[in-house]
């Protein structure tokens, strides 16, 4: 996963690997040999820490936009499941009975 020749662990004063919390996820910091740039492992690859933070912030804003959807009915865009699960859930659909299908 990590090429030990190119990247080294960033260690704190205690000698342990330094970690940073980005959007609620702990990430271990790495540094490229001969450079001051910081990197983290994301999806099995090394990613620049600054770019990783920007990516996560963009993902957060997209998820907020998806969560607020407008519906035809009232309640200001709140759908079934908002209060139960804390997020937008599936809307209830009426099941067709055998009588309704024949009509």
**Per-residue model confidence as pLDDT tens digits over 14-51:** 999 999 898 888 999 999 889 899 999 988 899 999 99
pTM more than 0.75: no
Decide if 95 is inside a domain.
no
Q: How far apart are CA 6 and CA 101, in angstroms?
A: 66
CA distances from 1 to 25, 39, 49, 52, 91 (A): 19, 13, 17, 17, 42
What is the number of domains present in the chain? 1
d(CA 53, CA 94): 43
Is 60 domain-assigned?
Answer: no
Q: Is 14 inside a domain boundary? A: yes
| 70 inside domain | no
Sorted by sequence, the CB contacts under 8 Å of residue 70 that are 6+ apart come out as 77
């Amino acid at each position: 996963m990590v090429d030990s020749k190119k990247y080294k662990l960033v260690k704190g004063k205690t000698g342990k690997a330094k970690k940073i919390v980005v959007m609620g996820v702990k990430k271990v910091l790495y540094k490229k040999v001969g450079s001051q740039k910081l990197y983290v492992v994301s999806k099995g690859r090394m990613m620049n820490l600054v770019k990783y933070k920007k990516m996560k912030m963009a993902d957060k804003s997209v998820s907020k936009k998806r969560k607020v959807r407008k519906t035809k009915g009232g309640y200001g865009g709140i759908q079934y499941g908002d209060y139960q699960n804390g997020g937008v859930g599936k809307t209830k659909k009426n099941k067709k009975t055998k009588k309704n299908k024949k009509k």
